[in-house]
Structure 1
Amino acid sequence: MSNSPDRLYELLPVVYRIRDAEQGYSLRDLLRVIAEQVDVVEADITQLYENWFIELEKNQSLQLRAANHKRPVIRILDWRTAFGDALNVTVESGSCFVLDGLLIIGRGVHIEGNPSQFADYPTSVVQNPAAIIIRHSTLVPGWSLHCNCEPRRSTEPSLELFNINACVTIEHSIVGSIQVNQNEVETDPLPIHISDSIIDATSIEGEAIGAAGYSIAHARLTIARCTVFGQIQVHAIDLAENSIFNGIIFVVRRQQGCIRFCYVMPNSRTPRRYNCQPDLVEKMVRQETELQLNARHPVQPQFNSTRYGTPTYCQLASTCAEEIKRGADDESEMGAFHNLYQPQREANLRIRLDEYTPADIEIGIIYAT
């Protein structure tokens, strides 16, 4: 392969930067024009007040990302109260759509596939899936907040997936409810990979991952180091680890997959579990006397706050059970803040404090929010 300057220039993505001076233009029309020539749209502004309609053709890629040291806010206007205003994206086989470093408020993100992509099923589905990637982004749970951080639309989804031939990846993000509406006859379950994220249905009775009008979502879930508020109703869970599921789980294919080192709410229907809570504690309790059983408190996660917008959002409380705070496979905490390694850092700090603290002085550790 030639490494000539012309060849290298062809490999570089074409980047278009939206600046503050362009807020007066219609971004909907702008994206229609530049989507055919641009690979990356880089937002260098504070807020966008617009409803977006993006159509990607086969093997076409588009990335909406924040500029360096910027945190763009995409506020989707509520133009039609009775209709579904959203950030609308249409994908086809082989296309790629990326959201990186954005805050989306006001409405959700609606991603839909082109029905023609399943014309030569199953060949097109297996060989040319699209890619949907959401990373370092926030899709506000409940669309927007009241002044007391209560969600305005607590039952509305933040991400809707309609008949797409794709693999969905969510990394280091906060996302509200996810609704999956797939053709169960012509397609395999939609693969969804979630890691280091928070999925918030605003209540444990709501659907964190589900399908409107159906009992389960036609999806296969892989989830790691996440905190989930709400019910999960999916076809299968291939793997779940080091996560907190604060809601009932209902899985159709129990023979497939594994859940390990997680908190799973009682009465959930899951694949086989390994070293999960409160299973381990219940096993120990069954071996104790009846008096000890009645005196023992149930092991369940306790949070300083479960409302998006508060400083202590999803932070485990100091009174939370040690089985949760040290319940991951590496003895760190379960959930979205697993990679902070709080128990290990606290243990190392206490060792040094005990070694170097002068006599007759008492010390304590205060966690930052």
Structure 2
Amino acid sequence: MEVFFLSHELSDLCLGKPPLKSLSTSATVAEAIEVLRSSGGESFVSVWNCDHSEFGQCQCVGKICMVDVIVFLCKQENLLCPSKALKASISNVFNEVDGLVVHLEPSSSLLDAIDLILEGAQNLVVPISQTKKGGLSRRKLQQKSLTINSHNGAEFCWLTQEDVIRFLLGSIGRFSALPAQSIDRLNIISSDVLSIDYSSPASSAVEAISKSLTQQTSVAIVDGDGTFIGEISPFTLACCDETVAAAITTLSAGGLMAYIDCGRPPEDLVRVVKARLKEKNLEKLLQEFTLMTSLTGDMSSSSSSDEESPGRSLTRSGKYARSSSYSAKYVRKAEAIVCHPKSSLIAVMMQAIANRVNYLWVIEDDWSLVGIVTFSNILKVFKERLEVI
């Protein structure tokens, strides 16, 4: 098995990967929003510190997504003056955490990648092509400094936990009986989950949302009995726009779940948000919110009724609308993805890959929340099996 991990280089995983869309550290929050909107399906955009002089170097220092922007806008001073917040530097928004984004060579092994991921790396930046430095004039480099994809003649892609899991799944037959074992037997269900009560203010979940983004997990919404109702997913929020900050400020956790899970907000919730912003004297945020919602189209075509929102359903008690939406950039309606403690490892891997998530919620038959299983926990199992052998 060790030969398998060492014989595969990262270049094998990079085949067909598109070049990174990049953002300069000198960009503003408004410019970051513009790049994210035109990112072509990517939720994250890489952030670079580049020196385009003759002997200068380029370094990816982090990544940014709409969730970073939303959390930044939810700060009290930014709620009072959103226009000023949009002019701020993105250095105030994304976390430049050591080890979160790591540069690696294409010749690095799969085992190197797994080791770094288990140490906390989320994205591995790998060069995929090299062109002549003269291919772009310095003048053009300066003009495109905010969104340039070529870094002193080089292009990069990045590899994620999902890429590694997908690659392992393609060679799952090499791992003997491991894939058929249940996740509870493998002891990879974590009970350390981020959660919030259904009726709690959504604003009280901002810190948990930010933490879930760093952990590549999500925030569970539960009732007083620990019943799993749904989730506030950073991956869903990454598909929204900056006006969600207004919804977080005014709605409950359950209301926010409904607000972000329907593709576009239901008209009744839009009215609630506007009314509560007015009550809180957040006039500037109300103006920004009204402008943005008017630009997204006629909200009246959106309805919160069960008949017109077939993805939503009630719990057995009929009290709550269970989350029915996990949004990737190109999938606006799906479920909060769940599994059972007795689910097999391979079933969990396939379910996560099929739904483009890095985690699955683990629940019992009565929908009580057991915990969460993540890609990093799964990779740890493969690494431990290698060490045993």
Q: TM-score category by the smaller chain?
A: under 0.3
Q: Which structure has the greater CA radius of gyration? A: 1
Of Structure 1 and Structure 2, the greater helix share is in 2
Higher relative contact order (Cα pairs below 8 Å, separated by 6+ residues): 2
TM-score normalised by L of structure 2: 0.23
Of Structure 1 and Structure 2, the greater strand share is in 1
